[in-house]
C-alpha cells in the first residue's frame, strides 16, 4: 500500500520555509499533496487559484514537479475530508516556534479524532525558520526585497503587484 500525506497551508504566498518542508516531506511519502486551504482567520492577498499556480511554478523551478507531488486547493469542508478523498493517512506541518505548537496541537488532536488522520511536525531549516508569508507580504508592500525569502516566481509576481 502506498503512503499518502497532505501539506496544507494558506501559502499566501508560498515561501522558502514552505518549500523546505515540502521537499523533506516528499522524501517520506510515496505521494504528497500540497493543498491551498482557505483560512477564514486570515485576510488573503492572493486569490487561491493564483496561489496554486505560484506553488506549481515554484516547484517546477526546483525540479520537484516530475515526482510524487500533487498541488491542489480545498475550500469546501474539513481538511480531513480532503485527506479521506485522496487516501492520505497523515498531515505534515512545519513548526517554527512555541506559537506554532500552541496553534497546531488542538487541530492535530481534532483531526485525529475526526478521521484518524495523524499530524507529523517537521522542524524548519534554521535558515528559513524566521520566514512567514505575513512577513513577506509586509516587506513587499513596503517596497523591500523579498527575494531572500521566496522562490523566484513569487518574487517576480510580488514585484509586479507592487509596481
Ligand atoms: N518553516 C517551516 N514551516 C513553516 C514556515 C517556515 N518558515 N512558514 C510556515 N510554515 C508552516 C506553518 O507552521 C504551517 O504548518 C504551514 O507551514 C502553513 O503555513 P501558512 O501560514 O501558509 O498556513 P496557515 O498557518 O494559515 O494554515 C492554514 C490551514 C488552513 C492549513 C490550517 O488552519 C488548517 O489546517 N486548517 C484546517 C481546517 C479544518 O479542517 N478545521 C477543522 C478541524 S481542525
Give pLDDT tens digits for 44-103: 999 999 999 999 999 999 988 778 999 999 998 999 999 999 999 999 999 999 999 999
* Residue 91 CB partners (closer than 8 Å, separation 6+): 5, 6, 7, 8, 79, 83, 108, 111, 117, 118, 119, 120
Q: Is the ipTM of this complex over 0.95?
A: yes
Does residue 96's CB lie within 6 angstroms of at least one atom of ligand 1? yes
Q: How distant, in Å, are the alpha carbons of 60, 61, 114, 135, 148 from that of 130?
A: 24, 23, 32, 9, 12
Residue ranges for the binding site for substrate?
10, 42, 79, 93
Digit-coded pLDDT (tens) for 18-55: 999 999 999 999 999 999 999 888 889 999 999 999 99
Output the pLDDT for position 163: 65
CA distance 151 to 132: 13
What predicted TM-score, i.e. pTM, was given to this entire model?
0.96
Q: Which residue CA neighbors atom 15 of ligand 1 most closely?
A: 93
Contact 10, 47 (CB under 8 A): no
Amino acid at each position: 500500500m502506498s503512503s499518502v500525506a497532505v501539506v496544507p497551508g494558506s501559502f499566501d504566498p508560498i515561501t522558502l520555509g514552505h518549500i523546505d518542508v515540502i521537499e523533506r516531506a516528499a522524501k517520506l511519502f510515496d505521494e504528497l499533496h500540497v493543498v491551498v486551504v482557505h483560512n477564514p482567520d486570515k485576510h488573503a492577498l492572493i486569490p487561491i487559484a493564483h496561489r496554486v499556480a505560484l506553488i506549481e511554478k515554484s516547484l517546477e523551478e526546483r525540479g520537484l514537479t516530475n515526482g510524487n507531488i500533487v498541488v491542489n486547493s480545498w475550500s469546501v469542508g474539513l481538511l480531513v475530508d480532503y485527506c479521506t478523498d485522496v487516501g492520505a493517512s497523515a498531515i505534515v506541518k512545519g513548526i517554527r516556534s512555541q506559537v506554532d505548537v500552541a496553534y497546531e496541537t488542538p487541530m492535530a488532536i481534532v483531526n485525529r479524532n475526526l478521521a484518524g488522520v495523524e499530524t507529523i511536525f517537521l522542524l524548519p531549516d534554521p535558515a528559513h525558520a524566521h520566514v512567514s508569508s505575513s512577513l513577506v507580504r509586509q516587506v513587499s508592500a513596503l517596497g523591500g526585497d523579498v527575494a531572500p525569502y521566496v522562490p523566484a516566481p513569487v518574487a517576480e509576481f510580488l514585484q509586479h503587484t507592487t509596481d
